[in-house]
Amino acid sequence: GVGMGYSQHAGMVVLADGTDRAEACIRRVLYNDPAMGIFRHHDAGYEKATEVGNEHDLII
């Protein structure tokens, strides 16, 4: 399938096995995925997204 309904996703899978590499991957996913949502909402003109981006030191 393509996700719930026709939602788009990257199909990212991370195995949390306790290694340093897994930790780095998980940190990237848990940071980058929400950050991309902030970028998209900022691009759509939502001021709140810009505020949240600034609060989290995102360069928008």
Break the chain into its structural domains and give their ranges: 20-55
pTM here is 0.64
Look at residues 33, 32, 2, 29 and name the one whose alpha carbon lies nearest to residue 14: 29
Q: What CA–CA distances, in Å, run from 43 to 37, 46, 60?
A: 10, 7, 9
CB 58 within 8 A of CB 41: no
CB 38 within 8 A of CB 32: no
From first to last of its 60 residues, the chain has per-residue pLDDT tens of: 555 666 666 676 777 899 999 999 889 888 888 899 999 999 999 999 999 999 999 998
CB 26 within 8 A of CB 14: yes
Q: Give pLDDT, residue 1.
A: 52
